[in-house]
């Protein structure tokens, strides 16, 4: 899911759901899953994100990609 508006005319805005197809050195190749551009391929460039406010002083996304693993919740 996109966290910021990249290209509104192409449907790449906040909340757009994407399926990652390939992770490359400088871009992420994604397929658009929601909105008017379903099925289109989007190339998202690597970018640094910095958030500043009173509660979060500094958040820096490093120049490498993170791989997240799905967490499963066990029922007790």
Reported as a single tens digit per residue, the pLDDT across 30-52 is 888 888 888 888 888 877 666 55
Query: What tens digit of pLDDT does each residue of 53-69 get?
Result: 554 444 444 433 344 43
pLDDT at site 13: 78
Res 60: pLDDT: 44
Domain ranges of the chain: 8-45
Span 8-34, average pLDDT: 84
In the predicted structure, residue 73 carries a pLDDT above the cut 70: no
With vertex at residue 23, the alpha carbon angle to CA 21 and CA 28, rounded to the nearest 5 degrees, is 80
Q: How far apart are the first and last CA of the chain?
A: 30
Residues in the chain: 76
């Amino acid at each position: 899911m996109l966290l910021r508006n990249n290209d509104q005319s192409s449907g790449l805005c906040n909340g757009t759901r994407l399926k990652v197809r390939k992770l490359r050195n400088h871009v992420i190749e994604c397929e658009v899953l929601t909105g008017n551009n379903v099925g289109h391929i989007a190339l998202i460039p690597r970018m640094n994100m910095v958030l500043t406010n009173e509660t979060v002083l500094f958040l820096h996304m490093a120049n490498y990609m993170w791989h997240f693993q799905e967490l499963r919740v066990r029922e007790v």
